[in-house]
Structure formats: C-alpha cells, structure tokens
Amino acid sequence: MKIAIIGAGNLGLSIAKGVLHSNGATTMYLTKRNLDEIKNFEKYGNVTVTSDNREAVKHSDILIFAVQPGHFQAILEQVKDLLTEKHVVISTITGFSISKMEETIGSDKYIIRSMPNTAISVSNSMTCICSNELGKKRIDLAKAIFNRMGHSLEIPEEQMQAATVICASGIAFWMRLIRATTQGAIQLGFDAKEAQELAMHTCNGAANLLIESGTHPEEEIDRVTTPKGCTIEGLNEMEHQGLSSSLIRGIVTSFEKISQIRKG
C-alpha cells in the first residue's frame, strides 16, 4: 500500500507509527508545513517527509487526512485535480461531513470518514468508519488499515457524533474510572505506582475477557459475586451511589453538548 498522511501532527503520527510497526505500507509520505519534528521518520527507508501535499498525493493511493478542521477544506481544494480512481480519501477530521467533502472533490471518489481515539498511538484504537456510496467498495480496505491499529466498526454517518462520545471522549471516561480505582487501592494500602498497575491491568483484563469470550458483562459479574460475599456488597453500594446512572447521564450530557456544538 502506498499511503500518504496529510497533516502529520498528534493523530497523523500515531497512525504513521501504527502503520510502520505493522509493516502496513510499501511507501509512506508524511506531510506538514514545519518538518523539523518529523525529519527523523526518514530513517525508515520507505518514508518521505515533505511539506508538498501535491507530491504526496501523486505518489500515493491511500490518503489519510489528519489536519485541523479549519485547514481541511483548503487542502482538499489544493489537491482535488490530482485525485484519480486509484485514490482512497480517508478523513479523520472531526465534524467534517462526507457531503461537504463530496462538494469539493466530487461524489465519484472513494471517500471514507473515520473516528479513531488516542489509543491509536499504542495500536489499540476503537475506530468507527463510514463512507460515501462509492467508498463502500473500499470500506474493507479502510477497516484492514484501522484493524492494524486496534479494532474498527462500520457505522452509519448519522451515528458519528454518538461514536465520538463513546470512543473518543470515552478514553477520558475510562481514565477517570481507572484513577478512582487507583485512589481506592491506595486507601487499601498500595503505593501509588502499584495501585495504578493493579487498576489498569484489571481494567484491561475485564475488557479482554469480554472480547475473547464474547460473554455479557453480567455473566462475568455472576462468576465473581459469591452470595453474601464482599464483591456483591461493594457493587451494590456503588449502584446505590449511582454508578451506572451517573455514567449513562454523563454520556448523554456529552452527546447533547456535541450536538449543540455541531448546530452552532
């Protein structure tokens, strides 16, 4: 695969690292205006670093755009005459609709819209993707790229905002739960470093149990809650204090906020 990452900032570089670590590209172009921070990527023989977006587009098939939303339109204008049937345009730009992309480059292009999260930097992103009509023919290719850096799911474009809350903001929600568990562990006598180690690996194990076995969370809870035991007593106390309810309300509040921002 000949991949170009247009806008090699935080997200763009995370994607670049994921692709490079999984040997996912035959050639890779990385672009940004100021090249100082990405010069070192040229140590990988197949990587070219440039501020010339047009050169990157000419020499690549898969174009992953990871610039700030305010820059995207102008960059699409800059390269649109170079786009051919070989190109797959993948946008990571939050809030930039497929129809807006089609207005600029045409609906006769393969267009994919994606929503990764910051765990893409450790190749563990939950990435939601959708496409225009033609892009459906390249959705498996896009999934293959993002599956190298975690897990991907195709969703309708209307669900992209909801996916942003669950997957992108979701990183912050889970961090807070891990931090709270860490604080509890410190109170029980572990030092801060050990407490975080216990919290994050238990969290990772819980998620992996579900991923690997395909079970429902309540089934796994049943396995560890002895009648009259300490786990059910602690769990019920958490629920009396509103654990599930506060999480659901927080998720809905974030969704209401993102919906207002998009309208405004």
Ligand X SMILES: NC(=O)c1ccc[n+]([C@@H]2O[C@H](COP(=O)([O-])OP(=O)(O)OC[C@H]3O[C@@H](n4cnc5c(N)ncnc54)[C@H](OP(=O)(O)O)[C@@H]3O)[C@@H](O)[C@H]2O)c1
- The site for ligand X (CB under 6 A) is made up of 6-12, 31-34, 53, 66-69, 71, 75, 92-94, 115-118, 168
Quick one: 83 or 168, whose CB is closer to ligand X?
168
Q: Is 187 a known ligand-binding residue?
A: no
Please work out, in degrees rounded to the nearest 5, the angle formed at the alpha carbon of residue 133 by the alpha carbons of 130 and 135. Answer: 60
Among residues 223, 178, 174, which one has the least CA distance to residue 201? 178
Cβ 59 to ligand X, closest distance in Å? 15
Do residues 149 and 127 touch, judged by C-beta distance below 8 A? yes
Among residues 39, 58, 57, 63, which one has the least CA distance to residue 49? 39
Cβ 69 to ligand X, closest distance in Å? 5
Q: Is 4 a known ligand-binding residue?
A: no
Please state whether beta strands 47-50 and 27-31 pair in parallel, antiparallel, or not at all (unpaired): parallel
Cα-flanking dihedrals φ and ψ of residue 59, to 5°? Answer: -100, 10
Quick one: 21 or 54, whose CB is closer to ligand X?
54
Cβ 91 to ligand X, closest distance in Å? 8
Q: Is 184 a known ligand-binding residue?
A: no
Distances (CA, A) of 12 to 5, 189, 244: 6, 41, 35
Cβ 233 to ligand X, closest distance in Å? 38
CB-nearest residue to ligand X: 9
Q: Is 10 a known ligand-binding residue?
A: yes
Question: What CA–CA distance (Å, rounded) separates 132 from 134?
Answer: 6
Quick one: 29 or 110, whose CB is closer to ligand X?
29
Quick one: 17 or 225, whose CB is closer to ligand X?
17
Q: Is 204 a known ligand-binding residue?
A: no
In the annotated binding site for NADP(+), the residues are: 6-11, 66-69
